[in-house]
A and B are shown apart, each in its own frame.
Chain A
């Protein structure tokens, strides 16, 4: 994992902690809503908006629907921030 990638993961971890109000939370690539109790469809929207804000990106509607695990999030963020 290069530095940029590591940096994205760190920031994403911070977004998760802030969104779910859990200071000990550690994200991993295959993490999905099943792994976090509070991650329901409602919180999913908050999470995605928080990601958009943290990374200063605007996801399109289709991408928003596909962000079902942390790995997908990392890939999507990378794609948008590389531009």
Chain B
């Protein structure tokens, strides 16, 4: 849609606002808005979005404090708009202009009063104090860089003392102008190299719960010369080109959403003209373009890029209109094929429509449609999936495969603020799971299957080694999550050090492999004799294998050990966690109360017959690190 068409469309949406068709306005905005659109278009999206009453859309609240050294009022509105696209309704606190330090250092400031989930410290290169005399030594340069970074580290510590918020700190958007010209890339003491070192040092210094917002990348991608259009800096302290506001707000919204655990987990790809040039069914193994020729090389590089995504934990699946045997041929025999069948967790080459294939893949992997990205070179297929499965992300692919990588990358689908070793092994986990279900087909009864799985559970108390994975599990689990709690790593640290809380994690192995850390439980002692289940999350990879019974058994023994006579738990319903609505009932708890959709459960340990949970899981003993 070109800009004139968009402007007309917006006019129509303004009328829909008047008649109260808010959902229609919002989905209309989502359909036409691009983060690359210019400042005026972004302002229009933001203004229309602002006119929608907050409770008209089912969005989860996120509280954000923005502490900026430039003018960010426009940015805030546009950020709110893009956050809504992530399912979040932003409450934004904007610190008075130029009061970053004062606001953070004053425990009584409005910042802390608003109880932010995320604090964005929003600076620009002008704020970084690392000018040193030309010709200074390496040691001197290093000292000054460390000092400049230290200033921010102390702000983070000060924030930490008063808040459990997630901290987003941007790095320096390197300037366009250079005093020494090309030589600024040579000597360490030049402004440009000092700022480069500042950015690296800043990254090295992050604490748990701090993430670097890579403003320098955004400015480079946008183009330094345009980015540093200083007219509106001198006029009204806008730190970067107004037309880049959409790009910055979009990426910030993705990162903020990632701090809440939202993420894409699976990339479903088409084959013909997506992974290779031509159609395998028509052109045959020798006829497809892969490896040789300009676009053949582009497809190889695109496959390498997808493999790198797979290696960081995004699982790959295939949906293609083909005969399965023919579609698999390149994977087995083509010398330039980078992706092998082992890299793919679900392979659907058939003549069904792609919507059914995608739904099937989602349910076989036990993931939500909103964690799927679908890649297809065919606009008709994309349109079909978009219109029937709006939760699936369907990026436009350019005509030329040379630009596939950039197209996928520029949409920032796979943002994360954490990386754990578990991510690397994710494809193996999912693949083993599919083997398990094939294995299950050999058994006529469930207990025979479970027994032969030869499962072994390792349990332990939360520790700093496992904390990144635990935080990830708590923040990313939607289906098996009873209480909707979310904790940052630093919040978890204070929880696990608290006297009244008991935090356990569980790791499961079986004959097919290691499932890794699959469950975490936070228990809090209430009064002398009650143990309350604050948080219980479990990976859906291990459902229906007795793991929930095993975990509950450990909760019971923990309760007994510390002299509790009662365990209380609650279920807060969300769109995604119906799976566990009756979990407590299944585990022998009694429902004691209902209210606001939530249910409250109790297990009395004083009764004559305390529950015994039968599982086929061996205990490996406590893990000690």
Say if the beta carbon of A78 comes within 8 Å of chain B.
Answer: no
Given A21-B14, A64-B231, 19 additional A-B pairs, CB 8 A:
A18-B7, A21-B47, A41-B236, A45-B232, A45-B236, A45-B238, A45-B242, A46-B43, A46-B74, A49-B39, A49-B242, A50-B40, A53-B38, A53-B40, A59-B231, A61-B230, A61-B232, A61-B235, A65-B235
The distance from the CB of B314 to the nearest CB of chain A, in whole angstroms, is: 38
Q: Which A residues, 48 to 70, have Cβ-Cβ distances below 8 Å to chain B? A: 49-50, 53, 58-61, 64-65
User: Nearest 5 CB-CB pairs, A to B?
Assistant: A61-B234, A64-B235, A61-B231, A61-B235, A46-B43
Chain B interface size, under 10 / 10 to 19 / 20 to 34 / 35 or more: 10 to 19
Per-residue 0/1 for B101-122: is the Cβ within 8 Å of any A Cβ (1 yes, 0 no)?
0000000000000000000000
For the A-B complex, the count of residue pairs with Cβ-Cβ distances under 8 Å equals 34
For B232, what are the chain A residues with a Cβ–Cβ distance below 8 Å? Answer: 45, 61, 64
> B231: which of A41, A46, A60 is its contact (CB, 8 Å)?
A60
Task: State which residues 66-84 of B face A: CB under 8 Å.
Answer: 73-74
What chain B residues lie within 8 Å of A49 (beta carbons)?
A: 39-40, 242
Q: Number of A residues contacting the other chain (C-beta, 8 Å)?
A: 15
Q: Shortest CB–CB separation between residue A58 and chain B, in angstroms?
A: 8
Classify the interface of chain B: helix, strand, loop or mixed.
helix
CB neighbors of A among B160-218 (8 A): none
- Residues on the B chain within 8 Å of A34, using CB: none
| CB atoms of B74 and A45 under 8 A apart | yes
List residues of chain A with CB within 8 A of the CB of B47: 21
**Interface digits, A61-83 against B, CB 8 Å rule (1 contact, 0 not)?**
10011000000000000000000
Q: Chain A: which residue is nearest B232 at the CB level?
A: A45
Query: Can you give 13 contacting A-B residue pairs, CB < 8 Å?
Result: A21-B14, A41-B236, A42-B74, A45-B74, A45-B232, A45-B238, A46-B39, A49-B39, A49-B40, A53-B40, A61-B231, A64-B231, A65-B235
Closest A residue by C-beta to B229? A58
User: Which chain B residues in 216-247 approach chain A with CB under 8 Å?
Assistant: 230-232, 234-236, 238, 242
Chain B residues whose CB sits within 8 angstroms of the CB of A61 once the complex forms:
230-232, 234-235
**Closest chain B CB from A68 CB (angstroms):** 13
Instruction: Give Cα A71–Cα B73 distance, bound, in whole angstroms.
Output: 27
Q: Which residues of A contact B234 (CB under 8 A)?
A: 61
Write out the residue numbers on chain B whose beta carbons fall within 8 Å of the beta carbon of A21. Answer: 14, 47
